[in-house]
Amino acid sequence: MASSFHKERKAWFQIKHQIVGTYLSLFLGKLGKFGDRVYYVDGFAGQGRLEDGTEGSALIAAKLAAEPPQKSRQGLLHCINVEADSETFENLTKATAPYNHCVTNLQGTFQDKLPEILKLIGSQTAFFFIDPFGTQGAEISTLKTLGNRQGKTEALVRYDDTRVKRLIMWSANNLDNLEEKHRKVAVGLSARVKQLTDEEAAEQVLRESLLGSDSEMRDRLIEGYEAEVKRQTSFTFGLNYPIRNPATGGHRYYLVHFCKFADGYTHMANFMAKAERTYQKLLSGDAGLFGGTPKQQTFFQIDEQLAKQAEAEKVSDITMEVPAIILHKRWENKSVQLRDLLGEIVNSFKWRTTRHEWIKALRQCEANGWLSLSGTEDGDMVHFAEKI
Ligand SMILES: C[S@@+](CC[C@H](N)C(=O)[O-])C[C@H]1O[C@@H](n2cnc3c(N)ncnc32)[C@H](O)[C@@H]1O
């Protein structure tokens, strides 16, 4: 039982870490190109290595800092980890000891340590990973502080919609409580809810708590959170991805990415799309993850066939969406950077399609005579035809 729990946990940890690790590597590659220091701040770092040997976010980042895939980025990434629990902190210190030259571990709460961290990193580029159990750290006010700092800033936040829903229900049920202490707590929680979603979403959750489906309520909460963060902070792009348990398909929480530039948005969407493919593979029992035997060769070939078919469908969907984007943006007979067009594609498909599929679709659009591409890098130009 315990071991199957660990295996399952390992599987959804893997998905989270695939997103954090691959994105951080790209972040360092892109934003480290001027040779300036780049910071990774793990606000809820955990112990670095789990009992079963799985590497946590802090260790993944430390290894990347010590040995980046691009040698020219050597020595640029510095990791700052914050951990509140003393035993966990001790383990974190041990796990990251070989990387002391590029890691600073701080014991305490993220909330308390944030001013010190902001001072330390000054106006350098920084990626914040906020991964709490619960909702502490995900508040809109925290994201406002991060968004307002000087220097390029991005954040990846765990959003625990189940806890947010619980806060909403508890505060609503106790605002009229006969006991004053309960009413006081309810008022406090109601203020917290405002830090975690928009008013409309909170009201909808209350109205539909008995009849609405869990997934609809989740959608409203996360949309409300993302919209409020974009409205109240200087982050202009937001993308949320649901982390589920591949053994059961059960929802765990969301990872939400906030940034200010289209490149962060599109590259994160691409990594989330790849994580989704991993999730789908795990869900279908591939790789014998949950004690099952790996699929037989013939099944695997059929899967490959299905994967190809799915890709062709996605490419076709994107191709069909592009004319609507061009018309909506009034891009006929104009030129824009590829990053702007990719940003629009991600607005339509979020994390459901990969960069590989976007480019394939754009090549198809080119063959249809709707546009021409000067290249496939973010900064390359796209010229649109006068008539589509
Ligand atoms: C979900 S775990 C972190 C997992 C880690 N990010 C990973 O992916 O490997 C959350 C951690 O935050 C710590 N924690 C709880 N409250 C905290 C706070 N206010 N500030 C910093 N750390 C806190 C917990 O002790 C726990 O180790």
Domain end (from 255, 287, 319) = 287
Please give the Cα distance from 68 to 5 (Å, whole number).
33
Domain end (from 246, 264, 287) = 287
CATH of the domain at 313: 1.10.10.10
Please give the Cα distance from 50 to 93 (Å, whole number).
13
Tell me if 182 is assigned to some domain.
no
**Ligand 1 centre from 128 Cα, in Å?**
13
**Ligand 1 centre from 12 Cα, in Å?**
16
pLDDT digits (tens, 9 = 90+) for 94-152: 999 999 999 999 999 999 999 999 999 999 999 999 999 999 999 999 999 999 999 99
Tell me if 221 is assigned to some domain.
yes
Are residues 152 and 280 both part of a single domain?
A: yes
**Ligand 1 centre from 64 Cα, in Å?**
20
Are residues 115 and 200 both part of a single domain?
A: yes
How far does CA 198 lie from the centroid of its chain?
A: 20
Tell me if 179 is assigned to some domain.
no
Are residues 370 and 255 both part of a single domain?
A: no
Are residues 78 and 226 both part of a single domain?
A: yes
Domain end (from 244, 260, 287) = 287
How much is the pTM?
A: 0.92
Are residues 138 and 246 both part of a single domain?
A: yes
CB-ligand 1 contact for 57 (6 Å cutoff): yes
Tell me if 185 is assigned to some domain.
no
Please give the Cα distance from 218 to 9 (Å, whole number).
21
Domain boundaries, position 16 = 2-160+196-287
CATH of the domain at 6: 3.40.50.150
Which of 44, 243, 254 has most ligand 1 atoms within 8 Å of CB, for mutation? Answer: 44
Are residues 148 and 270 both part of a single domain?
A: yes
CB-ligand 1 contact for 132 (6 Å cutoff): yes
Are residues 130 and 46 both part of a single domain?
A: yes
Please give the Cα distance from 173 to 206 (Å, whole number).
10
**Ligand 1 centre from 34 Cα, in Å?**
32
CB-ligand 1 contact for 343 (6 Å cutoff): no
Ligand 1 atom with the shortest distance to the CA of 55? 9
**Ligand 1 centre from 82 Cα, in Å?**
8
From 367, 303, 371, 366, select the one nearest 334 (Cα to Cα).
371
- End-to-end Cα separation, the chain, in angstroms: 59
Packing angle of the helix pair 214-232, 140-148 (nearest 10 deg)? 30
Are residues 233 and 298 both part of a single domain?
A: no
Q: CA neighbours within 13 Å on the CB side: how many for 48? A: 24
Q: What angle do CA 327, 328, 331 make, to 5 degrees?
A: 55
Q: Does the pLDDT of residue 185 top 90, yes or no?
A: no
Tell me if 105 is assigned to some domain.
yes
pLDDT digits (tens, 9 = 90+) for 264-290: 999 999 999 999 998 988 887 755 444
Tell me if 168 is assigned to some domain.
no
Tell me if 117 is assigned to some domain.
yes
CB-ligand 1 contact for 224 (6 Å cutoff): no
Q: Does the pLDDT of residue 291 top 60, yes or no?
A: no
Domains in the chain: how many in total? 2
The Cα diameter of the chain in Å comes to: 70
Q: Does the pLDDT of residue 1 top 50, yes or no?
A: no
Q: CA neighbours within 13 Å on the CB side: how many for 119? A: 5
CB 262 within 8 A of CB 343: yes
Are residues 116 and 44 both part of a single domain?
A: yes
Whose C-alpha lies nearest to ligand 1, atom 16?
Answer: 84
Are residues 297 and 272 both part of a single domain?
A: no
Q: What angle do CA 262, 267, 269 make, to 5 degrees?
A: 95
Per the model's pLDDT, the better-predicted residue between 6 and 201 turns out to be: 201
